Structure 1
Amino acid sequence: MKKIAVIVAGGTGTRMGAGLPKQFLLLKNKPLLYYTIDTFLRAYDDLDIVLVLPEVYTDMGQEIIDAYFDKDRVRITIGGISRFESVKNGLQLVDDEAIIFVHDAVRCLVSPELIRRCYEQAVETGSAVPVVPSSDSVRLLTEDGSDALDRENVVLVQTPQVFHSKLLIPAFSIEQKGKFTDEASVVEAFGMKVSLVEGEKNNIKITHPIDLVIAEQLLNGNPA
């Protein structure tokens, strides 16, 4: 069965306060996007990538592909105004039955081991969503203030979120809703359950400038 990774890099990264979208910022002299693409291509020799980019940055994305990768394994499509629309655009390039990975481009420290673990779970159950325990206390905001939650019952969700195409593609035919912050929420709204797998603490999402510092330390083999 085919393996296709839809790598979502459709945002502009305004929270980074940089001139470029964060997926193009340099980490050890290479763009963040390089590390993400490289890890997926190394995880499986028969995996292809659909890279979802803002329209004005497709040329920059193509330059990265041409410089570092086999261009036959990476295709580019244009993102939408929301994550839901960007993923939906990427899924339109999936023609055959496949196991589909959807991954945030700026989770550039994802490991081949996590990719494979998610794949194996998705083959078995149809879905795989990596999660890590919350190390912080957690509260739920309410109209009257907030309520403490038992953090033992709370997990933090990561990507890649992996699904059989027979589940994921039909799920993205439903109407977009504000609560759709990831693919798992879309699949659940479609009426399907998702399977959780163990994520990785180092699989951080580059969102703020300090995250770049942490990522460089991790790439250098130093604990954050």
Structure 2
Amino acid sequence: MFDAKARKPQAAQALIQAAGGGTRLGLGPKAFVPLGGQTLLERSITLFRDIAESILVAVPAADFERARALVGAPGVTILVGGPTRSDTTRKLIGAATAPWLILHDVVHPFATTASVRQLLDAAREPGAAAPGIVNTEYLYRRDGEILHAPGDVLVGQKPVVFSSEAVKRAYERLDAADVSGDPSLLEVLEIAGIRTAFVEGSARNIKITSLEDLELAEAMVALERLRSKS
């Protein structure tokens, strides 16, 4: 379990989702999209180098060798992802061996070491933890009906920390119950009686899904470099 005095959390593995085709972004597989001189995949690997015991990465089948050439190293295992995000998540979890897992997605390039350590600590008792930010706008249905006022709900972010034993047990129950649809990881954890604890996230921890998001990310990197020189 997480030891605040240690450089790395004990027996925690990072699982990196990098198997998306990047269709909405339109720049090819998102793992290889450059940002600030590094690909999104390289940035994720860098994040977990000093936090996790080892790293599992799921990439598109066609880019397996490309990913291995880019980030393949001791402690980093490259896997072929599944046809959907949920399938990829299950493949990563199925390959994991540590009691605590950290699920991340390369489209969140600004997650920090400090936030991951906070999540590892927060997950200790409930069994799972995730960052979240409070909504600041009214949320509506497509037909115009108001769903939530500002401050009513949280917007979840990555990474998510959770118990390996609990989530594998939950998937077994899910399969036995023959649940239809594509439940999220947090819904799967609920099946095992794990209610995810949310800690305060950051507005800087943006998700890159569009060209506008990438432009914002590039501006954030440029500002970081400018501040570091001042």
Would the TM-score normalized by the shorter structure come out above 0.5? yes
Structure 1 residues not aligned, in runs of 5+: none
Shift, 1:169, TM fit: 1.8
Alignment correspondent of 1:4:
13
| SS of 2:13 mapped into structure 1 | strand
- Structure 2 residue corresponding to 1:55, chosen from 52, 61, 77: 61
How many residue pairs align between the two structures?
212
Once the two structures are overlaid, the 10-residue window that deviates more, 146-155 or 125-134, is: 146-155
Distance between the aligned counterparts of 1:65 and 1:179, measured in 2?
30
Distance between the aligned counterparts of 1:35 and 1:125, measured in 2?
29
| SS of 1:125 mapped into structure 2 | coil
Shift, 1:188, TM fit: 1.8
Alignment of 1:2-41 (within 5 A): 2-18=11-27, 20-41=28-49
Contact 1:99 1:164 in 2 (8 A): yes
TM-score by length of 2: 0.85
State the AA in 1 paired with 2:114.
E
Contact 2:25 2:210 in 1 (8 A): yes
What's the Cα RMSD here?
Answer: 2.0
Q: Could you report, residue by residue, the CA deviation over 1:184-215 in whole angstroms, capped at 9, with x for unpaired residues?
A: 12212444322111111111111001111111
- Structure 1 residue corresponding to 2:95, chosen from 93, 96, 103: 93
Shift, 1:162, TM fit: 0.8
- Structure 1 residue corresponding to 2:181, chosen from 173, 178, 183: 178
State the AA in 2 paired with 1:100.
L
| SS of 1:172 mapped into structure 2 | helix
Distance between the aligned counterparts of 1:73 and 1:116, measured in 2?
19
TM-score by length of 1: 0.87
Deviation >6 Å, runs of 4+: none
Are 2:121 and 1:120 equivalent residues in the alignment? yes
**Aligned-pair identity (%):** 26
Contact 1:129 1:184 in 2 (8 A): no
Contact 1:136 1:151 in 2 (8 A): yes
Distance between the aligned counterparts of 2:154 and 2:190, measured in 1?
17
Alignment correspondent of 1:194:
196
State the AA in 2 paired with 1:125.
P
Structure 2 residues not aligned, in runs of 5+: 1-9
Distance between the aligned counterparts of 2:100 and 2:58, measured in 1?
18
State the AA in 2 paired with 1:165.
S
Q: Could you report, residue by residue, the CA deviation over 1:127-154 in whole angstroms, capped at 9, with x for unpaired residues?
A: 1011001122211356xx5234222111
Over 3 Å counting, the alpha-carbon distance change for 1:186 and 1:37 in structure 2 is same
| SS of 2:181 mapped into structure 1 | coil
